Amino acid sequence: VVFLQQDAAGVSLIFDMPLLDGVVEVQISSQPTFTDAAWQPLVTILPLSGPFNGGVLYLRFRDQAQHMSESIQLQLPYQLFLPVINR
């Protein structure tokens, strides 16, 4: 399970580590091809830096035997469209 957290420090991904037992690396990209992303160690909290492609992130995981998961698409929820108020 992956959660998003946004606070004054920025945006972070929070991984539910017991559910990811055996997974050792994650790849996070703004592109579905992952051409702009390197594999990185999987940690509980992973700070993110943008920009993101339309508020979408793509993730995939890898275990020690180099087995790779299918990619998942994560829509960042902090995009807000506020109405214009005329006074």
Residue-by-residue pLDDT tens, the chain, 87 positions = 676 666 666 778 888 776 667 888 999 988 899 998 999 998 888 888 766 666 788 889 888 889 888 898 887 664 434 445 444
Q: What are the backbone dihedrals phi and psi of residue 45, each rounded to the nearest 5 degrees, phi first?
A: -120, 125
What CA–CA distance (Å, rounded) separates 30 from 83? Answer: 28
pTM of the model: 0.74
User: Where do the H-state alpha helices sit in 27-79?
Assistant: none
Residue-wise over 65-76: b if at least 16 C-beta within 10 A, else e? eeeeeeeeebee
